[in-house]
């Protein structure tokens, strides 16, 4: 069983499972890209399909994502160690652009340093 993350954008997915870390390392941190399989998605009603983004996320979809919060503490340059309450990600398309149009909740400030500009700008709060 692989790590499960909460999906905090409005793409329709709710829970995603990490199936691959897209860097030459054993684990991914905040700001790293991963491949996820969607384990839980919000039901898509036909009436809403037009207003939402073109890509309809269903359960079982394999997508890319970027990690935005981890329960494992991350080291900040001033020496602090920061950790969040859960693991969360934002789904991406193949051009590394976020699939959803809004992000709900916090994202870590690490994203700024790892050049996820679009995600940071969408986020309501960056801590």
Query: How far are the Cα atoms of 9, 37, 78 from residue 74, in angstroms, in the given order?
Result: 22, 25, 12
Cα separation, 52 vs 45, in Å, equals 10
Strand-strand pairing, 74-75 and 62-69: unpaired
CB nearer to other proteins: give 46 or 85: 85
Cα separation, 110 vs 29, in Å, equals 9
Contact string (CB under 8 A) for other proteins, positions 33-72, x = contact:
----------------------------------------
Task: Verify binding: residue 105, other proteins, rule CB under 8 A.
Answer: yes
CB nearer to other proteins: give 15 or 106: 106
Task: Verify binding: residue 81, other proteins, rule CB under 8 A.
Answer: yes
CB nearer to other proteins: give 96 or 113: 113
Which residue from 15, 37, 106, 118 is in contact with other proteins, where contact means CB under 8 A?
Answer: 106
Count of residues in contact with other proteins, rule CB under 8 A: 14
3-state secondary structure of 4: strand
Say if residues 89 and 19 touch (Cβ distance below 8 Å): no
Cα separation, 19 vs 2, in Å, equals 7
List residues binding other proteins (CB under 8 A): 73, 78-86, 105-106, 125, 127
């Amino acid at each position: 069983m692989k790590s499960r993350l909460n999906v905090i954008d409005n793409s329709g997915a709710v829970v995603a499972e990490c199936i691959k870390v897209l860097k030459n390392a054993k684990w991914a941190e905040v700001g790293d890209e991963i491949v996820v399989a969607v384990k839980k998605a919000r039901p898509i009603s036909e009436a809403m399909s037009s207003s939402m983004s073109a890509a309809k996320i269903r359960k079982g979809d394999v997508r890319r994502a970027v990690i935005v919060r981890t329960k494992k503490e991350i080291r900040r340059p001033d020496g602090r160690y920061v950790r969040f309450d859960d693991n969360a990600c934002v789904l991406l398309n193949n051009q590394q652009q976020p699939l959803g149009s809004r992000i709900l909740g916090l994202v870590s400030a690490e994203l700024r340093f790892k050049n996820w500009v679009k995600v940071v700008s969408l986020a309501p709060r960056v801590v």
